[in-house]
Structure 1
Amino acid sequence: MSTLAFDGTAMLGRQLLRVRNNPALVILTQTMPISMLLFFGYVFGSALAMPGAEYRSFLVPGLLVATAANGIMTGMFQAAQDVHRGVTDRLRTLPVSRAAVPVGQATADVIVTAVGTVPFLLVGLAVGWRIEGSALDAVAAVGLLLLFRFACTWAGIFLGLLTRSEEAAGQLGSATFMLPLLSNAYIPTDNLPGWLRTIAEWNPISALTTALRDLFGNAPVPEGAAWPVAHPVAGSLAWCAVLLAVFVPLGVRRYARGEG
């Protein structure tokens, strides 16, 4: 465990240096949610039954979760890039813990996400979003959000190691943009057809979005929803546990095994 902690810290430093040396990508990924908030909040908001300010308060938690789900895309692309350029093979020759590299990547991603969440929330405050719940609930909401990002990043790391190609990872990663569309991140699911509402409410994004809205005090838990949405905090923790239980061992074994 001490070896993993020491080696993981070293790999964390490597990932943070990687982020520092590619500021354009960081700026793009952090400004995209803000652009979507302004566009969706003022364009879609005018087309829905909710008043504009109410819709923007409804939208902020959804965009936070959609951004966290993008950990699949970033984790996939970075892992595939390292494999494609031979960096992973070189790291495997070093006397370090096999889990250290993916752990460092996932941890660095969470740190960057936490920092990038601050300007997004400031813009959210500027357009009318407010924390209506307690400070403790707000802290719990942020913690749940970062846990979900961590779990999604592990899923992306495994898929990136599996694809082994930057181009394939980029194409597959773009498909993750569909996940928030099949959830309650942008619109309520109450008026969806029954089968589509069921799919949307069993989407992990819907459970986490509902949990954030509830913890921030932006919207109540909807009645008659599927279990993950009806019990959003428990549902979110369950989804995070499933993702981590599946993809952490798969990612570590795939990294250690290499092409074999």
Structure 2
Amino acid sequence: MIAHFAADSWTMTRRELSRWARMPWQVLVGLVFPVMMLLMFAYLMGGGRGVTGDYLTYLMPGILALTVAFGLEATMTNLTQDLNKGVIDRFRSLPMASSAVLVGRSLADMLQSAVSLLVLAGVGAALGWRWEGGAAAFLAGFGLLLLMRFAMLWIGIHLALLAGRAELVQAVQILVWPVGFLSTAFASPTAMPGWLGAVVPWNPLSATATAVRDLGGLDTGGGWAADHAVLLAVGWPLLLLAVFFPLAVGRFRALSR
């Protein structure tokens, strides 16, 4: 049974990957947007407030963390389009594991996210960013980024199933922006108003960005959240998955009722 589920999931993954060939602009946008963000904040915004030392070294982990939060719109839109066109209903009528539809979509999204992170890291290296934490720490940081992406993905899937229509997805995607910018991605909490500087380090994206900075050899200590960033970078995604994964699966199963 596990073999059949794996085969069904891989079939759905290949279906999602085939979209890349039919709509390469979606992949291109997913790759270019984070790079544009990096260039804009590194060279046009005049450096980050409260950041000492090389700003690019501080900025890169923040942009990497933001990358795993942004870009869910394509996945959410494709899912709602399949719902409205009856594609998912047809899949559910076939002799296949119904959950393979969501698993296949999530695997394709994770693959695209990994490519996007690697491209962004390559551009950062070309601009002068250097990783000082060693190979093992780099893999650990990359894993934390993908873990957060996986959690964000299932939030997106659940919200897409709730929205039900592609035109509502944009409104949902807009909600990601406040979460992304109210983080330590671009500026140190020490430069923020007292109450905001106390709250921002607890943002899940702040935890991931700070953990990647710590693993890369950049000391960003100051407060419990910053000192235990790796713990929070693991705990936040697991908590989000514990909430939204069953919600998404339950919502998906309820579609046929």
**TM superposition outliers: structure 1 runs of 4+ over 3 Å:** 45-51, 71-75
Of all paired residues, the percent bearing the same amino acid is 38
What's the CA shift for 1:191?
A: 2.4
Distance in 1, Cα, partners of 2:30 & 2:65: 14
The alpha-carbon distance between structure 1 residues 246 and 49, as it changes in their structure 2 partners (threshold 3 A), is closer
Q: Residues of 2 paired with 1:245 and 1:177: CA distance?
A: 23
Taking the aligned partners of 2:51 and 2:239, their CA distance within structure 1 comes to 34
The equivalent residue for 2:99 is 99
The CA deviation at 1:71 is 5.1
Aligned-partner Cα distance in 1 for 2:47–2:58: 13
Q: Tell me how far apart the structure 2 counterparts of residues 155 and 74 of structure 1 sit (CA, whole Å).
A: 14
Question: Tell me, what secondary structure is at the counterpart of 1:45?
Answer: coil
Shift of 1:5: 1.5
Which residue is 2:21 aligned to?
A: 20
Matched residues in 2 for 1:4 and 1:47: separation? 47
Aligned to 1:211: 211
Alignment correspondent of 1:202: 202
Counterpart in the other structure of 2:167? 167
Match of 2:230 in 1: 233
**Change beyond 3 A, Cα 1:258–1:191:** same
Q: Deviations over 1:24-51 (max 9, x none)?
A: 0110121011111111101223474657
Contact 1:66 1:180 in 2 (8 A): yes
2:222 aligned partner: 223
Q: CA deviation at 1:9?
A: 1.1
Contact in 2 for aligned 1:71/1:149 (Cα 8 Å)? no
Q: Distance in 1 between matches of 2:71 and 2:38?
A: 19
Query: Superposed, which structure 2 residues align to 1:176-191 within 5 Å?
Result: 176-191=176-191
Distance 2:236 2:48 in 1: 32
Q: Please point out which of 229, 240, 245 is paired with 2:242.
A: 245
In structure 1, the partner of 2:153 is 153
Q: Partners of 2:84 and 2:175 in 1: how far apart?
A: 21
Structure 1: distance between partners of 2:200 and 2:171:
23
Q: Helix, strand or coil for the counterpart of 2:143? A: helix
1:114-168 deviation line (CA, Å, top 9, x unaligned):
1122221121012121001111000111111111111111110111011001010
Question: Distance between the aligned counterparts of 1:43 and 1:136, measured in 2?
Answer: 33
2:249 is aligned with 1:258: no
Compute the TM-score of the two structures, normalised by the length of structure 1.
0.91
Q: Cα deviation per residue 1:203-248 (whole Å; 9 max; x = unaligned)?
A: 100000001111122x213212x43x32111111101111111122
8 A contact 1:204–1:236 mirrored in 2 = yes
**Structure 1 residues 47 and 9 mapped into 2: Cα distance closer, same or farther (>3 Å)?**
closer
Structure-2 change in CA distance of 1:259 and 1:164 (3 Å): farther
- Post-superposition offset of 1:65: 0.7
Gaps of 5+ in 1: none
* Change in 2 beyond 3 A, CA 1:251/1:50: closer
Structure 2 residue matching 1:95: 3-state secondary structure: coil
Query: What secondary structure sits across from 2:38 in the alignment?
Result: helix
Instruction: Name the stretch that deviates more: 108-117 or 170-179.
Output: 170-179
Q: How many residues align?
A: 256
CA contact (8 A) 1:80 1:165 kept: yes
Aligned partners of 1:71 and 1:153 also within 8 Å:
no
Judged with a 3 Å threshold, the aligned counterparts in structure 2 of structure 1 residues 246 and 56 are, in CA distance, closer, same or farther, namely same
Q: Is the Cα–Cα contact under 8 Å of residues 189 and 198 in structure 2 kept in the other structure?
A: no
Q: Show the counterpart of 1:138.
A: 138
Question: Which residues of structure 2 form unaligned runs of 5+?
Answer: none
Give the distance between the partners of 2:171 and 2:46, measured in 1 at CA: 30
2:41 and 2:47 in contact (8 A); partners too: no
